[in-house]
Amino acid sequence: MIKLYVVIAFSFFLTAFKPVLAAIKITDAKRQLIEVNLPTTIPNQEGMVLSQEIDLPDFKQGVYYRPFTREGRGFIARGNRVEAVAFNNIRELVNYQPSQTRDAHINVQQGQFMLLELLDGRYLAVLPMTSDKVYGQFFIEQNKVIIKTGNFGSQAVSGKIPLLIWAYGDSPYAATEAVWQQVFASGYVAAEPREFKNYPQEPYGYLGWCSWEHYKTKISQTVITDAFKTLEKSDAPFRWVMVDDGYLDQKRGQLLSFGVDKKKFPNGWQPIMDLKKSETIKWVGIWRNFGGYMNGVSPEHTMQDLKPYLTPVKRANTVLPDGTAEGAKAFYDKMIADTKNNGFDFIKVDFHTHTFDLYKGSLDPVGAMRQNNEALENATHKMNVPLLNCIAQPNINSLQTKYSALTRSSPDYNQKDKNKNKSNTYQSFANHLWMNQTVWGDLDMFHTHDKRDVQPMAIARAISGGPVYISDEPSKVKSDVLIPFAYEDGKLLRTSAPATLLPESFFIHPFRDDNVFRVIAPMNNNVAAIALFNFAESGKTLSSQFSAKDYPYAGELLKPNNGPWSLPDEGLLVYDPQSKSVSGLASVHSTQIDNFSAKLFFLYPKNKGWAVIGRSDKYLPGAAVSINEITQKRITFYLEESGPLLVWSESGTPIMNDAKFTSLGGGLYQAELDIRPGRQLLTITR
């Protein structure tokens, strides 16, 4: 048994509190929330009120979700940095050495989640909890895993607090979902299940462009105007633009107001809003900083109505919302009202975790962050401004996603750093395991003109189910990369749930070792999408495979989760879009993946000798299809937009009015339908 030991410093308690020194034993109970009643307790110098042992069951292998922070063993993680690290025993975590791809990612503290594969084949998920009083994290010390919880401040804590939740399941997905069901029912957090939320179809269901990766903060009215005009002329159907960082009224990295830098945007936002057109770029979004700006709000700010609600924090010459519900509401209502009133249609809010860092050492950082998170969620919901949370992965933020349905699942795409993009991609799909319970993941923008990594980046975003947007300098956009993502009106073809890793890929080192990592997502009509990525540092071409045993997992990612899909009686058909070919999946399907490359495959259930593959010109052909009725002689289905159509017929050439099918071999047929917008009901006979 691996034990996690209680470490309590009695001098930090106001009362004669005698903590229970026994380990938190993870028993055979299928699921459990561990809580304690805490006497009035002053946090120690680290802001902790409790540090307690956990007794883990024996396990075969595990994956530990920890944040990367440049401070190494720094106490608060910054950035979108929650990453999965595979291990076989705790000593491996203690001695963890990052690969070249992850470079300086040495931090194994502040764990946010843990998944273990047990010796009997079951899985155990363990989540440290947060509330309006405390924030719990895993720490690796003296070859032991410890849970520490506190408010990261100086104010005394008392009363009932949560420590952790565990749950068992027959798959990683079942165990993780069982943990989150308890999270939602606990009453300690504001997060709501993903199935209760609406994906922000407008605009994130359409193709977009963001100013950040190319222009960084060097934006202006002229830059954004020129980008608009160039993007409108592109063959790619862009429908939205996001104005990222670089416009704010700020001084030395501190917010003065929610307005604009008059030198960059002398006429405010109206000239930008005048560029919107319903038939082309219809929506414009804006980037905001959760704490105002990088170094918070300046004491010299000009927002007179907020003066009663902003207070100094321990960081010198910085003010932030005062930790009350009223203060948080005033601040975020003003932020979102300024966004809405200036004509913006959606918002990305960034640097949540960095704002927590600014609060550190004040009275009650955890309580302040809870108020702020709720106020932001409430304001965007009330004013109908779709919210993408960014730099919000740690549990202090992710467990408070009440209304928002999107959170960044990786750090920023980096045009110059191929290794970073490899790490980001794996990180996103690993994170979707737990993020999937409450939000969709955002893989960030990418560049279409970067020949080095455009192919795996495009496949990753196609299967992800999340937003698709780019950041090329507008004149360099390669429209042929983008057209397969969307219909003529820019609407994306999307999976039915966020893609995540197949079970074994949680427990590998995809960069250091020669391992292909495999990703799965469900689609319409019980079609499963599988992507294979070779990001090994050795540079080798690697072999990979999948089988019918992988197919049922796709069903577990849907919300509500009705369990794994059953294997179809007639078997599965593999569609390979690279070769535009099909084959039956009798045992395993093997393939070779070039280094820093990816391949995408689709598993279609055979149904009365039919399978409608879908639009052959799209990354996700089956996403265009909704089956209506199937008999041995006929199949009817909806096609979201007419275009080149692939159909598999086990026996006999397909027949359809006003169309001719050409055989591609193996029972696969293609009809060159004209591209026409609008949903159509099609009937095929044989």
Q: Which fold has domain 196-485?
A: TIM Barrel (3.20.20)
pLDDT at 586: 86
- Enumerate the domain spans of the chain: 2-189, 196-485, 502-606, 607-686
Residue 78 confidence (pLDDT): 56
> Largest Cα–Cα distance of the chain, in whole Å?
85
Q: What is the mean pLDDT of residues 340-353?
A: 96
pLDDT at 289: 97
Alpha helix (H) residue ranges in 408-541: 418-435, 454-464, 479-482
Both tokens assigned to 547: 């089988």
Q: Would you state the pLDDT for residue 71?
A: 54
Q: Give the HSE-up count for residue 467: Cα atoms under 13 Å, Cβ half-sphere.
A: 34
Fold of 502-606: Immunoglobulin-like (2.60.40)
Q: Which of 149, 185, 151 is nearest to 167 (CA)?
A: 185
Using 50, 70 and 90 to split pLDDT, how confident is the model at 79?
Answer: low
* Mean pLDDT lowest among 44-48, 95-99, 462-466, 494-498: 95-99
- Mean pLDDT, the chain, rounded, equals 93
Average the pLDDT over 290-311 and give the result: 97
Terminal C-alpha separation, the chain: 63
Q: Report whether pLDDT(20) > 90.
A: no
What's the Cα-to-Cα distance from 629 to each of 524, 565, 651, rounded to whole Å?
Answer: 14, 20, 18
pLDDT at 553 exceeding the cut of 80: yes
**Of 292, 203, 264, 272, which Cα lies nearest the Cα of 486?**
203
Three-point CA angle 56, 40, 113, nearest 5°: 30
Two domains, one topology: 196-485 and 502-606: no
- Taking only the tens place, the pLDDT of each residue in 144-169 is 999 999 999 999 999 999 999 999 99
Of 524, 468, 469, nearest to 495 by C-alpha is 524
Q: What is the mean pLDDT of residues 585-610?
A: 96
In this prediction, residue 80 carries a pLDDT of 67
Q: Are 140 and 93 in contact, with CB atoms under 8 Å apart?
A: yes
CA 25 to chain CA centroid, nearest Å? 31
Kindly tell me if the per-residue pLDDT of 6 is higher than 80.
no
Which DSSP state fits 606? -
User: pLDDT category, 135, cuts 50, 70, 90?
Assistant: very high
Q: Does the pLDDT value for residue 607 go beyond 60?
A: yes
Report how far residue 389's alpha carbon sits from residue 130's, in angstroms, rounded to the nearest whole number. Answer: 18
pLDDT digit string, tens, across residues 55-75: 999 999 999 999 876 554 444
Within 8 A by CB and 6+ apart from 449, the residues are: 472, 476, 477, 478
Third-level CATH fold of 607-686: Immunoglobulin-like (2.60.40)
